[in-house]
Each structure stands twice: as C-alpha cells, then as structure tokens.
Chain A
C-alpha cells in the first residue's frame, strides 16, 4: 500500500511534442501529489503539485491530471523543449498522521532538438 508506481522508465520525445508520465498509487490516505524535476548532479526541484479536490492543474506548459477513482495521476509537458530533458519524479503524501511521503522511481526524459 506504500508504493507509487511510475512509468515509463525512460521517454524520448521530439521537440514540440507532448511528454506524458504516469503514476499510480495504492494508499487512499494520500492527499498530496507533487512532481519534481531533477537535472544530473542536482537535487530535485518542485515542479507542480495537486491535491485530490481538483482533477487538473496547469502551470505554463506543465499540467497534472488526477483521477481519484483510478488512483492515478499524470504529468503532461506540452511543447516539450530540449531544456526539459531531465529526470521526473512523482510523489504522494498524506497531510496528517504518520509521514507517508513516497516517491516514484523516476522517468528519464530526453527531448530531441
């Protein structure tokens, strides 16, 4: 119940295309779902996050879609750019109770120029 499954493990997209990364969780106590972007040799940086009271959140070219009944959420990167090439991590957490902040295994995205 503590896993967050992330797919795909790696993704290659042409410049201008849409990158889609998916995550699925099991624990229904999770109520906070952030995405992090990590460049090689650097720490992850918070990209965008969503709470389950909304089905979609958009910030610039980045959109999170959330399906509470399916316990799935996804990151969409519109008009993907070479500078978006990085590793992306989804995570899930619970605002109350014992700490349950769980990370997915990461998706390595490469955007071709």
Chain B
C-alpha cells in the first residue's frame, strides 16, 4: 500500500532531551512537510523540503531540525531548545511543492 508512515505514534520526552520523529513515504513524492497541531490553532508549518538535500524553514522552525538525505525520508528532530514541544506532529508529502498534500497518521509528543 502506498502512503506515509509516521513513527512512533506516541512519544514521551524528558526535559532537555532531543527526540527524532520518523516520516517515510513510498508515494515517490518530491515534496515533504512537517506540521505541528495544537488545539484551536490549526496546522502550523515547521519545515518543508522540495527535493532531496534541500529544506526550508516554515513559520515555527525554532527548536526543530530536519534532514532530507533520501527522497522517501524526512525525519524531524525536536531539540531541547523547543520550549513547548507537547503537540501532535504531522508529516505530509505531495508530488511537487504546492500540489495536493497527503498526511501521515501523526505522532503525539508529550514532555514528561
């Protein structure tokens, strides 16, 4: 089945820890995105990548980092610099930038 796989589904982080969220797609899409979802605030763009080895900051990139070494993979690292990381994180991909985006099932990150 083609699609976007995010893992893990639930993740707990201690204060001061870095954690990495995985996103893999087998849709052969060029563009990939990371969004953060908080209650009542919709989806906010963290980072996006148009092609391999290239990525751009979104609206709320501070405290996050990404890499795009392979077309299929776009991992997101939530660093200790992110002061309020508890949220639902969504990965998406699209054939090209600004075309229909398809989402994964999300990772819920909680700081403990």
Please give the residue numbers on chain A whose beta carbons come within 8 Å of chain B beta carbons, in ascending order. Answer: 6, 9, 32, 34, 36, 41-46, 49, 89, 93-96, 99-101, 103-106
The 8 closest A-B pairs by CB, nearest first: A43-B103, A105-B42, A103-B43, A103-B42, A43-B105, A44-B103, A95-B98, A43-B106
Nearest CB of chain A from residue B23's CB, rounded to whole Å: 11
For B88-110 the 0/1 string (1 means CB < 8 A from A) is 00101000011111111110100
B82 located at the interface, meaning its Cβ lies under 8 Å from any Cβ of chain A in the complex: no
A42: contacting residue among B35, B41, B102, B105, CB under 8 A: B105
Closest chain B CB from A78 CB (angstroms): 23
Interface residues on chain B, size class: 20 to 34
CB distance from A50 to the nearest CB of B (A): 12
B34 adjacent to chain A (CB < 8 Å): no
Chain B interface mostly:
strand
Which single member of B4, B6, B98, B105 contacts A101 (CB below 8 Å)?
B98
- 4 other contacts beyond A89-B43, A99-B56, A105-B41, with CB at 8 A cut-off? A42-B106, A43-B6, A100-B98, A101-B45
Which B residues touch A104, using CB under 8 A? 42
Report the separation of the CA atoms of residues A32 and B48 in the bound assembly, to the nearest whole angstrom.
18
**Contact yes or no, B98 A93, CB < 8 A:** yes
**In the complex the two chains form, is B42's CB within 8 Å of A45's CB?**
no
Does B40 sit at the interface, judged by CB under 8 A? yes
Kindly state the separation between the CA atoms of A100 and B97 in the bound complex, as whole angstroms: 10
**Docked complex Cα distance between A94 and B101 (Å):** 13
Closest to B91 in A: A43
Tell me, in angstroms, the Cα distance from A34 to B103 when the chains sit together.
Answer: 13
Interface positions of B from 19 to 51, Cβ below 8 Å from A = 33, 35, 40-45, 48
Known interface pairs A94-B98, A99-B56, A101-B45; A45-B103 also in contact (CB < 8 Å) = yes
A36 to B90, CA, bound (A): 13
Q: Chain B residues near A42: list those with CB within 8 A.
A: 105-106
Q: Is the CB of A46 within 8 A of B102?
A: yes
